[in-house]
Amino acid sequence: VNTLPGIVKIQMVRCEDLPEHLMLLAEAGADPVLALPAVDIPFFGFPSLKWDGSILNGARQEQSTLEFKTTYRIPDNIRFAFVVTTAAGRQYLIGTREPKYPQIKFSDTTGAPDGDAALRTYKITHLAPKSVLPCLL
Q: Tell me how crowded residue 84 is: count the other CB atoms within 10 A of its CB.
A: 23
- What is the tens place of the pLDDT at every residue in 32-53? 888 899 999 999 999 999 999 9
Cβ contact 49:84 at 8 Å: yes
What contacts 50, CB < 8 A, 6 or more positions away? Answer: 64, 65
Cβ contact 121:67 at 8 Å: yes
What's the Cα-to-Cα distance from 36 to each of 15, 72, 81, 137, rounded to whole Å? 11, 20, 12, 7
Query: What is the model's pTM?
Result: 0.90
- What is the tens place of the pLDDT at every residue in 68-79? 999 999 999 999
- Write down the pLDDT at residue 41: 98
- Write down the pLDDT at residue 101: 96
Helix, strand, coil percent values for the chain (each to nearest 5): 5, 50, 45
